[in-house]
Amino acid sequence: MTYAARRVGLALAVGIAASLALGLALALAQGESVLLWFAYMLDIAGAIAIAFAFFSAAPTSARKAVSRRYLKKKDEPEPAIEGPPVVGDLLLFAGAGVFLLALGLVVELAA
């Protein structure tokens, strides 16, 4: 199992667990259907997952890259800077977000 697949699985698990907890709390506070609020929270978790996928793939600004290159000293080793996720990671996280949105829609239609 790849590292990206584990991260996506963790993101899905956290999204579903948080959606269930928040949906239950908000449904009890509002006095409405737990299933409906769970569906709303799944939609929000899916949107957050998609936003995370696209914002984490944003490239480093040119100003930061140039300053790192000119400010490093000759005897210092090159720092291991983790770059943006590869396209496969981006697609996995965006797919996870779409999955959460679809799951929320199915639960909402079933409620």
41 falls within a domain:
yes
Residue 25 lies in a domain: yes
The verdict on residue 80 lying in a domain is no
| Beta-carbon contacts of residue 4 (< 8 Å; ≥ 6 apart) | 85, 88, 89, 92
Q: What is the pLDDT at residue 8? A: 79
- Quote the pLDDT of residue 6: 82
Q: Is residue 97 part of a domain?
A: yes
Walking along the chain (111 residues) 10 residues at a time, the average pLDDT comes out as 76 86 90 89 89 75 68 60 62 87 91 77
- Are the C-beta atoms of residues 50 and 94 closer than 8 Å to each other? yes
The reported pLDDT for the residue numbered 86 is: 59
- Please tell me the total count of domains within the chain: 1
Q: pTM of the entire structure?
A: 0.68
> What is the predicted pLDDT for the residue at 105?
92
Residue 97 belongs to domain spanning: 3-75+85-110
**pLDDT of res. 102:** 93
